[in-house]
């Protein structure tokens, strides 16, 4: 039997041989289309190539594309498992031409592949064409030799394909397989076409137009080809099965499920196995592509799918989580074609196990409540909306899970009643919000959130994405559009821009639409709405249109590095200073990081050096930075650092990095584990370098470290180096000798200062040789009095001179007045034999006062004072003499 893996390889190989580039499947979360929840066909990643906006270095491509279809009003989820061909996850095989070949080659390629490579009998095949497409009909006739009655013209949109309300589109031709008249059903276009006899296997779209929002269409510059063939369908056909779930790949998953639940794959639990097999694929691939279960947006679709599968596992009688145990079987089947599956295997298993364990806690009680409600209802009556809402709100039953559970009993839910209950709850939440003291403009964001939903953040995985503009706020009020020169706040349905939170600053970058450009300077968030602070710089931007968003990459990279370094720093501090260290605040900006932590005393320089060295050692280790979603309790159980006093939701994001022999975490070797919603580097090596700028007090019991990483750290060190080189050049020394040279210079300076003081004293005392040059003492009131006016001797040198003068007079009083450094200093002295009747303090005070100063003090034998100037020195001396006279 040809396996699905072989069929995929044959398809890609056929087109590769025919000069097509084999292109990898794009992620399930479309990067380039804001209107799509999940990638739902092969052409999604080529959308902009078809319209000519984007160019690739090839004009022919072939892919096996992962697809998920499980959203929207008429979603398929309810049918999946019960029918032969409904899936939430499927693979679409396709070949694409971008302005290269058109119908004349696309039809022959398709025909050759299915009739020659796959060996499907020509007699079993028929095709449809758009009713006006004579050209396609003619090619089918001449190349494939199909008779007219097997080329059916269809006038409806069934044969005109468009990817959505806007975008590339064109007429298409579809290939059908006839299973034979023993199966009920009519050919396409007939009243009973929905039967199972004629099955569509391949759709070839002739991309010719681009559809716009206003309903108009333009002819594309180049005619292109987009084809899509569901692998599961063609696989069933080639394996001689009528049911996609009977193909080898799906069967392997069903059997793994039967084995894990010790039940018969084809017994009464048959439907449950099918549901689980399908949902295992969509959930695993979604998780591998970065979607995590949540209560909003894509994450909620994932959760709905997971919970639906879990209820079916419960119905199989499973007492413990089952889904995660099936992941190895899936990786075995599909891991080679999609390596991302193997890479994400631990994350997929952990996420499934967590979701399953948690949901189990309420599943039983919810199902019991459902039974009780039904017991009170008349036969076949719908379940009241309020009951369905209670199941949703209290027990985590998504509406479609309740519907699925009721389906088996032939009942439905009063959906209008459910919606009303939901609306009422939102109104209550709003009222609570209004009463929470938030600012008035919070109400505006709450209104927007309620009307348009919250913003989905895509920025963990990408820095560019498209979003739909939901609201523009100018001067506090919503406006339909804004023009160049306006400063506005913009809300989109999804964004790669990080909104300021947890110490990490908001992103900046550029927003572009078909009609204008805005510079985004900051991003904030309120009520789950991401607010892009923007200046419109060109043209105009309007709500309801798509916009390309581009985060400033260099800035974001620097922020990532700083944020990851903060985690490493936190752990290094705990190791160096003790377990009491806890985060008290942080800033992760592009140019620096700041980390506040509890610690009661200043760090020593040695501690700081040790911490810095440790952080750098973990940077060089270059270990992977990993992210998981867990319950707060599980996170704490593996040693995650949480912010003290912070409230966390049901699920937390856990970021871990670094490996250490005595680490923590599930493997006991993880160094840093923190609850964190921020963006981080992929590997610690991306931080590059870590340099602390210093440690200081932030508030009582809280210390602060400021630091740099990456280029900024390097620039800082290079700057320090340049300064050292400059110092060395001035010293005319090698940089390594600079400290010794500076020390020697300081010693020399000290010695010179002492010498200068000595010389000054000698000069003041008359050249140092007896009395020559010095003033002559006189006798006042029987006391020898020597007064002298000096120039340039600072006050601190005067006491030494006073002592010397006292020695010179032997017995008497001395006075020195000196002008230095722009002020006057006064010092007076009295020899000890006279201190009984005279005081140096009186002499000094009298002199200071005469100079226009105030005060003066000291001891009877030595006193000092100061004044602004020594201009009246003569008067000061006279005043001192007067003081001596008493
Ligand atoms: N885009 C078309 C489809 O989804 C062909 O790939 O059917």
DSSP string, 686-750: GG--EEEEEEEEEETTEEEEEEEEHHHHHHHHHHHHHHHHHHHHHHTS-GGGHHHHHHHHHHHHH
Whether residue 504 has its Cβ less than 6 Å from ligand 1: no
| pLDDT score of 141 | 97
Per-residue confidence (pLDDT) for residue 31, from 0 to 100:
74
Q: What is the pLDDT of residue 346?
A: 84
Instruction: State residue 644's pLDDT score.
Output: 46
Give the distance (Å) from ligand 1 centre to CA of residue 205: 7
Q: Which pLDDT score is estimated for 72?
A: 53
Which of 205, 225, 231, 234 to probe ligand 1 with, by most ligand atoms within 8 A of CB? 205
Whether the CB of 200 sits within 6 Å of ligand 1 = no
pLDDT value at residue 526: 82
Assign 291 a pLDDT band (cuts: 50, 70, 90).
confident
Question: Any idea what the Cα angle at residue 433 is, between residues 505 and 644, rounded to 5°?
Answer: 50
Q: Closest residue (by CA) to atom 3 of ligand 1?
A: 228
Cα–ligand 1 centroid distance for 161 (angstroms): 7
Which of these ranges, 214-223, 609-618, 770-779, 838-847, has the smallest mean pLDDT? 770-779
pLDDT given for residue 684 in this prediction? 97
Q: What is the pLDDT, as a whole number, of residue 670?
A: 94
Contact 810, 835 (CB under 8 A): no
Q: Is the CB of 175 under 6 A from ligand 1?
A: no
Question: From the CA of 108, how far away is ligand 1's center (Å)?
Answer: 18
pLDDT at 120: 96
- Ligand 1 centre from 93 Cα, in Å? 10
- Is the predicted pLDDT of residue 447 greater than 90, yes or no? no
| Mutation pick for ligand 1 pocket among 26, 94, 171 (CB with most ligand atoms within 8 Å) | 94
CB 207 less than 6 A from any atom of ligand 1: no
pLDDT at position 423: 87
For ligand 1, atom 2, the nearest C-alpha belongs to 228
Whole-angstrom distance, CA of residue 598 vs CA of residue 77: 51
> Which pLDDT band holds residue 792 (cuts at 50, 70, 90)?
confident
Least confident of 216-225, 286-295, 725-734: 286-295
Average pLDDT, the chain: 90
Asked whether the beta carbons of 396 and 359 are under 8 A apart, the reply is yes
Tell how far the Cα of 403 is from the centroid of ligand 1, in angstroms: 30
**pLDDT, tens digit, for every residue of 834-859?**
998 899 999 999 999 999 998 889 99
For residue 395, what pLDDT is reported?
A: 86
Dist. CA 373–CA 385, nearest whole Å: 11
pLDDT band at 135 (very low <50, low <70, confident <90, very high): very high
pLDDT at 248 over 50: yes
Taking residues 552-579, report their average pLDDT. 95
Pocket test for ligand 1, best of 226, 231, 234 (most atoms within 8 A of CB): 226
Confidence grade of residue 76 (pLDDT, cut at 50, 70, 90): low
679: pLDDT strictly greater than 90:
yes
pLDDT band at 645 (very low <50, low <70, confident <90, very high): very low
Collapsing DSSP states into helix, strand and coil, what is residue 94?
strand
Please give the distance, rounded to the nearest whole angstrom, from the Cα atom of residue 202 to the centre of ligand 1: 9
231 CA → ligand 1 middle, Å: 13
Binding site membership of 161 for ligand 1 (Cβ less than 6 Å)? yes
Closest-lying ligand 1 atom to the alpha carbon of residue 228: 6
Higher pLDDT, 73 or 620: 620
Residue 688 φ/ψ region, left for φ over 0, alpha for ψ in the -120 to 50 degree band, beta for the rest? left
Is 41's C-beta closer than 6 angstroms to any atom of ligand 1?
Answer: yes
Model confidence at 165: pLDDT above 80: no
Give the model's pLDDT for residue 593: 96
Tell which one of 33, 36, 43 to mutate to probe ligand 1, the residue whose CB is within 8 A of the most ligand atoms. Answer: 43
Residue 773 has pLDDT above 70, yes or no: no
Average pLDDT over residues 307-326: 93
Cβ atoms within 10 Å, residue 810: 10
Mean pLDDT over 373-394 rounds to 89
pLDDT at position 424: 87
User: How much is the CA Rg of the chain, to the nearest whole Å?
Assistant: 42
Please report which confidence band the pLDDT of residue 221 belongs to, taking 50, 70 and 90 as the band edges: confident
What would the mean pLDDT of 59-76 be, rounded to a whole number?
81
DSSP SS3 for 885: helix
| Rounded Cα distance, 131 and 117, in Å | 29
Q: What is the mean pLDDT of residues 435-443?
A: 56
Q: What is the pLDDT of residue 642?
A: 66
Q: How far is the CA of 143 from the centre of ligand 1 (A)?
A: 23
What is the number of the ligand 1 atom nearest to the C-alpha of 204? 5
List the residue whose alpha carbon is closest to atom 7 of ligand 1.
228
Q: Between 320 and 166, whose confidence is greater?
A: 320
pLDDT at 387 over 60: yes
DSSP 261: T
Specify the ligand 1 atom closest to the Cα of 43: 1
- Closest CA to ligand 1's atom 6: 228
Most confident by average pLDDT, 132-146, 305-319, 442-456: 132-146
41 Cα to the center of ligand 1, angstroms: 6
Average pLDDT rounded to a whole number, residues 713-731: 95
- The pLDDT tens digits for 16-56 are 999 999 999 999 988 777 777 889 899 999 988 998 888 89
Please tell me the distance between residue 626's alpha carbon and the centre of ligand 1 in angstroms: 36
CA 162 to centroid of ligand 1, rounded, Å? 8
Instruction: Give me ligand 1 centre to Cα 227, in Å.
Output: 6
Give per-residue pLDDT as tens, 683-694. 999 999 999 999
Q: Using a 6 Å cutoff on CB, does residue 94 contact ligand 1?
A: yes
Q: Which residues pair with 641 in a beta bridge?
A: 674
Examine the pLDDT at 426 and tell me if it is beyond 50. yes
pLDDT surpassing 90 at residue 103: yes
State how far the Cα of 319 lies from the Cα of 322, in Å rounded to an integer.
9
């Amino acid at each position: 039997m040809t396996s699905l893996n072989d069929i995929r390889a044959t398809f890609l190989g056929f087109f590769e041989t025919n000069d097509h580039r084999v292109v990898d499947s794009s992620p399930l979360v479309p990067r380039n289309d804001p209107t799509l929840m999940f990638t739902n066909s092969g052409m999604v990643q080529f959308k902009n190539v078809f319209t000519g906006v984007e160019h690739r270095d090839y004009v022919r491509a072939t892919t096996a594309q992962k697809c998920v279809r499980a959203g929207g009003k008429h979603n398929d989820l309810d049918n999946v498992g019960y029918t032969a061909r409904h899936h939430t996850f499927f693979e679409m095989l396709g070949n694409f031409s971008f302005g290269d070949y058109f119908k004349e080659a696309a039809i022959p390629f398709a025909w050759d592949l299915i009739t020659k490579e796959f060996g499907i009998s020509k007699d079993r095949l028929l095709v449809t064409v758009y009713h006006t497409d004579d050209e396609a009909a003619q090619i089918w006739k001449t190349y494939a030799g199909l008779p007219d009655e097997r080329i059916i013209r269809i006038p409806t949109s069934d044969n005109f394909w468009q990817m959505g309300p806007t975008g590339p589109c064109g007429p298409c031709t579809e290939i059908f397989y006839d299973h034979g008249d023993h199966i009920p059903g009519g050919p396409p276009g007939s009243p009973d076409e929905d039967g199972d006899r004629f099955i569509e296997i391949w759709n070839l779209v002739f991309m010719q137009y681009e559809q716009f929002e206003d309903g108009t269409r333009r002819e594309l510059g180049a005619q292109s080809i987009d084809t899509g063939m569901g692998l599961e369908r063609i696989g069933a056909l080639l394996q001689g099965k009528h049911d996609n779930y009977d193909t080898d790949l799906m069967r392997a998953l069903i059997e793994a499920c039967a084995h894990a639940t010790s039940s018969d794959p084809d017994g009464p639990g048959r439907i449950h196995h099918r549901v689980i097999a399908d949902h295992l694929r969509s959930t695993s691939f979604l998780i591998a592509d970065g979607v995590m279960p949540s209560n909003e947006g894509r994450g909620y679709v994932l959760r709905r799918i997971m919970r639906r599968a879990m209820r079916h596992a419960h119905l199989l009688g499973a007492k413990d989580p089952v889904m995660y145990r099936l992941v190895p079987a899936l990786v075995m089947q599909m891991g080679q074609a999609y390596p991302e599956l193997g890479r994400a295997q631990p994350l997929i298993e952990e996420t499934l196990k967590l979701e399953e364990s948690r949901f189990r806690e309420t599943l039983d009680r919810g199902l019991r409540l459902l039974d009780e409600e039904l017991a009170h209802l008349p036969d076949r009556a719908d379940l009241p909306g309020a009951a369905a809402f209670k199941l949703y709100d209290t027990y985590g039953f998504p509406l479609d899970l309740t519907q699925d559970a009721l389906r088996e009993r032939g009942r439905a839910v009063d959906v209008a009643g459910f919606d009303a209950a939901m609306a009422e709850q939102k109104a209550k939440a709003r009222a609570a919000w209004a009463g929470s003291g938030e600012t008035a403009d919070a109400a505006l964001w709450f209104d927007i959130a309620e009307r348009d939903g919250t913003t989905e953040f895509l920025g963990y995985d990408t820095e560019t994405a498209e979003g739909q503009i939901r609201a523009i706020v100018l001067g506090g009020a919503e406006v339909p559009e804004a023009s160049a020169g306006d400063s506005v706040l913009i809300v989109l349905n999804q964004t790669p821009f990080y909104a300021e939170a947890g110490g990490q600053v908001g992103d900046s970058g550029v927003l572009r639409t078909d009609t204008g450009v805005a510079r985004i300077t900051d991003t904030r968030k309120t009520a789950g709405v991401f607010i892009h602070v923007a200046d419109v710089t060109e043209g105009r931007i309007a709500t309801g249109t798509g916009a390309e968003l581009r985060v400033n990459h260099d800035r974001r990279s620097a922020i990532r590095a700083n944020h990851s370094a903060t985690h490493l720093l936190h752990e290094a501090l705990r190791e160096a200073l003790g377990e009491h260290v806890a985060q008290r605040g942080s800033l992760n900006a592009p140019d620096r990081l700041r980390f506040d932590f509890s610690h009661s005393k200043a760090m020593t320089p040695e501690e700081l050096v040790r911490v810095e060295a440790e952080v750098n050692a973990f940077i060089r280790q270059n270990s992977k930075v990993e992210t998981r979603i867990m319950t707060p309790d599980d996170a704490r159980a593996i040693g995650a650092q949480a912010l003290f006093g912070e409230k966390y939701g049901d699920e937390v994001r856990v970021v871990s990095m670094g490996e250490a022999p005595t680490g923590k975490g599930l493997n006991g070797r993880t160094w840093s584990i923190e609850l964190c919603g921020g963006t981080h580097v992929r590997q610690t090596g991306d931080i590059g370098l870590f340099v602390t700028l210093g440690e200081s007090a932030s508030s009582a019991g809280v210390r602060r470290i400021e630091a740099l990483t990456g280029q900024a750290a390097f620039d800082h060190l290079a700057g320090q180096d340049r300064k050292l080189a400059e110092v060395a050049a001035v010293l005319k020394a090698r940089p390594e000798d600079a400290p010794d040279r500076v020390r020697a210079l300081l010693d020399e300076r000290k010695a010179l200062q002492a010498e200068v003081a000595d010389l000054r004293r000698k000069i003041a005392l008359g050249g140092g040789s007896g009395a020559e040059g010095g003033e002559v003492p006189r006798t006042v009131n029987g006391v020898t009095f020597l007064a002298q006016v000096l120039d340039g001797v600072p006050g601190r040198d005067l006491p030494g001179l006073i002592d010397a003068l006292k020695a010179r007079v032997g017995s008497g009083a001395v006075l020195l007045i000196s002008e230095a450094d722009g002020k006057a200093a006064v010092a007076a002295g009295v020899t000890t034999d006279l201190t009984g009747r005279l005081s140096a303090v009186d002499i000094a005070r009298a002199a200071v006062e005469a100079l226009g100063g105030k005060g003066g003090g000291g001891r009877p034998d030595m006193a000092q004072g100061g004044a602004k100037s020594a201009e009246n020195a003569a008067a000061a001396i006279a005043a001192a003499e007067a003081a001596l006279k008493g």
